Structure 1
């Protein structure tokens, strides 16, 4: 159903996105790759991986073997716990290396939290932690992979550049080594050297091919390192989810407390103050009723006006908590009511097969309400649109306007708080608002019928 408030406009949802210039390189990627900083960092990562993995593997296998072997005595438990704890330290170093050299966005796992602040409690926490055992598994798996990746990376890189530059340094072999060039074959009867112009050219071309190929091979190798670090050294999905839920719970609590403070302030400064004034006026009117009936009648008439104003303020406050039209008739009617109060013409299009969960419906309503308020106050727009639809198990809504743009989630505006509220229920808020407009704000919420 589409409802148009004011002048109608385009039938599609929202407005077309502004064209943004894309950066174009004059040199193809295959030619840039050998000289890019990313290639050098990834090559450096592979070169460092070998000595690091040797130390980690040696330490890990030694401590694990010693700990398991000593389990028949009490010494096995502290040795095993100490080894796992130290490997967690190695894991911190590996995560830091992956962040700086591979640009990998990875968090640190939760620290060890013993149930009792005793040595036995600490050892038990280390041994029970799945993170500790994943660090041990990383030290065992990463060693053979690091040997392979180091060998392939350094061989391709060295042979590629050596062959590519061979025509530049081939002269040094007959001068200093007493041979005509690089020897391909030799026995008691004859030898084959790369020493004529044709062979030098072919060698350089092979070197060029290897040099151009090496960055892509190194990137493929480092992609495996990324998977190993993310899979074994990063926080598990359960840990990430716990952190998210704790953060979301804090946002929900803060939002609820802020809403309660707002309601209390509105009641205190609005309806409550008017009711107190009304009670005083009625008391004065009661006193004057016998002495001056006309003055008492005027005071009662003024009190009647105050009652109407107080009732309107209470209705507005109730609508801000949860509008009755949303409960009775759903999002279509509720959003149409909000759009009718906007200062610019708003087209509303709600296409839902049935109503979502009441909580999600309320969040969608207040999201659109706040976005339309922003349009009225800040956008400088002449028209706007609201579109609501369902995609699989998600409720999608989009509010667009043709205003001046420049809205930003990171500028400390109300959009940041709105994004936090949506995130608390696993929702997403995306803002597309280039300078000069138009602005398109898209929200995604779980359906949760």
Structure 2
């Protein structure tokens, strides 16, 4: 580690120690308020109002603890049960929902131990470097104060400038040790907080079930919407043309004896209508599962897609193996939707697609040089990508600051599909 990085991390940890001291004091206050709310519930019933309010503050404090732990490389997931939409923020139902959530009591159990550990480690993170800094500046301080006694380190009297120099090496040593140890103290504090604030195994399973329930509902809704789209496209497009085609052929059959010229004209119109209906059916099938995806795999299908965009688009892929069909399809349509957003909304002059694969995940990235400002909450395109990937336990992250660039990063769990052929790879 470079000296600059080492000192930066140390100073950040010292600041984190000061923050931990302040937050530890709030733990004690919240603990007392929580106990007071519990006591007042059977006596005056005020806990029905007070406990939900205090619990909200406790959870805010716990969320701050999880956030601080995340700063030090110790991610802590939220363990709380989702609030049912029929439950308000106050009253008996809110009270019962709070006290039956195990995460409430884990937060409560953490308040005092977290305050003690946070205060102790925070003081350690803060005082050791400050003590070292005191030794470094002790000589100028002694000169400024003038004559008199001053002690430092192993406590020897300093009565002259020459003796004052003895504080410098000890001060520098304490300062270096303090800056080096402070990040480890902060990480230990984060690990201790995770013991209480992270979801238990049962809570993780419960949260996962809830998440999968939401994903399943979104997937079912998306599939239903896709079926309605296909039905509408068939009804309004190919089906209507085939009905008209049948009527035209019927008229030609009636006119073939009486007016052969008209019959030939009607048959020519029927042939043209059949060609149009065939093109529409091909477009519809391509929207369900593009033939190029089945023939050339994800790499070839994305390159073919990029060639038809109206802005220059480069494709960089190291995926030479065929993947499972559902994964290939989800990845293709996610990339296609992201590129559609680029061409329609970004105002970009250039776009790129990156497709990488590690041992167990497919890593996709779509970027552009547009004006940025993309927001999933303002449209259905990015939300559709999230729903499509979520069905496979995939994720999407978006970076789109005002002024650009916009980068959509997607990750899909995947495995090799061995019976299928290997493709050539390259870079456009």
TM-score normalized by the length of structure 1: 0.64
Contact kept in structure 2, 1:84 and 1:132, CA below 8 Å? no
Change (3 A) 1:379 1:213: same
Residue 374 of structure 2 corresponds to residue 411 of structure 1: yes
Tell me, yes or no, if the aligned pair for 2:14 and 2:125 is still in contact at 8 Å.
no
Q: In the alignment, is residue 29 of structure 1 matched against residue 5 of structure 2? A: yes
Aligned to 2:261: 294
Aligned residues: 392
Is the 1:289–1:296 contact (alpha carbons within 8 Å) kept by the matching residues of 2?
yes
Question: Take 1:181 and 1:341, find their aligned partners in 2: how far apart are those partners?
Answer: 77
User: 1:43: which partner in 2?
Assistant: 17
Structure 2, gaps ≥5 residues long: 309-313, 418-428
Q: Do the aligned partners of residues 208 and 386 (structure 1) sit closer, same or farther apart at CA in structure 2, a change above 3 Å counting?
A: closer
Query: Which structure is richer in relative contact order (CA contacts within 8 A, separation 6 or more)?
Result: 1
Is 2:158 the partner of 1:182? no
Shift of the alpha carbon at 1:134?
0.5
Q: Does 1:141 align with 2:96?
A: no
One of 85, 90, 102 as aligned partner of 1:130: 102
Q: What residue is the counterpart of 1:197 in the other structure? A: 161
For the structure 1 residues 123 and 202, does the alpha-carbon distance in structure 2 shift closer, same or farther, using more than 3 Å as the test?
same
Structure 1 residue 307 displacement after superposition: 1.8
Sort the Cα spacing of 1:169 and 1:51 in 2 relative to 1 into closer, same or farther, 3 A.
same
Aligned partner of 1:88 among 40, 55, 60: 55
* Structure 1 Cα separation of the partners of residues 25 and 109 of structure 2: 18
1:351 pairs with 297, 321, 333, which one? 321
1:210-256: CA deviation from partner (whole Å, max 9, x where unpaired): 23433443333332333344453466534653564355345424533
**Match of 1:444, SS?**
strand
8 Å CA contact retained: 2:30, 2:58: no
- Say which SS state the counterpart of residue 263 (structure 2) adopts: helix
Which of 131, 146, 149 lines up with 1:159 in the alignment?
131
Q: Which residue of 2 aligns with 1:211?
A: 175
**Cα displacement string for residues 289-312 of structure 1 (whole angstroms, at most 9, x for unaligned residues):** 343122112212321231233133
Separation in 1 of the partners of 2:349 and 2:321?
Answer: 26
Cα deviation per residue 1:321-344 (whole Å; 9 max; x = unaligned)? 246797xxx675687578668738
Q: 1:389-435 CA deviation, whole Å, 9 max, x = no partner?
A: 7835x5x37699xxx953899736967743542233212468999x9
| Contact 2:397–2:410 (CA under 8 A) maintained in structure 1 | yes
Equivalent residues of 2:81, 2:207 under 8 A apart: no
Work out the CA distance in 1 between the residues paired with 2:245 and 2:160: 109
Distance 1:272 1:343 in 2: 31
- Match of 1:351, SS state, is coil
| In the alignment, structure 1 residue 427 sits paired with structure 2 residue 394 | yes
Q: Deviations over 1:355-382 (max 9, x none)?
A: 73x533542454566689899998879x
Please say if residues 28 and 112 of structure 2, whose CA atoms lie closer than 8 Å, have aligned partners that are also in contact: no
Larger radius of gyration: 1
Find the residue that maps to 1:180 and give its secondary structure.
Answer: coil
Name the Cα RMSD after superposition: 5.3
Distance in structure 2 (CA, Å) of the matches to 1:431 and 1:150: 35
User: What's the counterpart of residue 305 of structure 1?
Assistant: 272
| Kept in 2: contact 1:50–1:146 (CA 8 A) | yes
| Segment of structure 1 superposing worse, 134-143 or 311-320 | 311-320
Asked if 2 retains the 8 angstrom alpha-carbon contact of 1:408 and 1:431, the reply is no
Q: Hey, what's the Cα distance between the residues in 1 that align with 2:172 and 2:152?
A: 20
Report the alpha carbon displacement of residue 167 of structure 1 after superposing the two structures with TM: 1.5
Match of 2:187 in 1: 223
Change (3 A) 1:299 1:238: same
Partners of 2:245 and 2:142 lie apart in 1 by 104
Cα separation, partners in 2 of 1:79 and 1:163, compared to 1, 3 Å: farther
Tell me if structure 1 keeps the 8 A contact 2:252–2:262. yes
SS of equivalent residue, structure 2 residue 157: strand
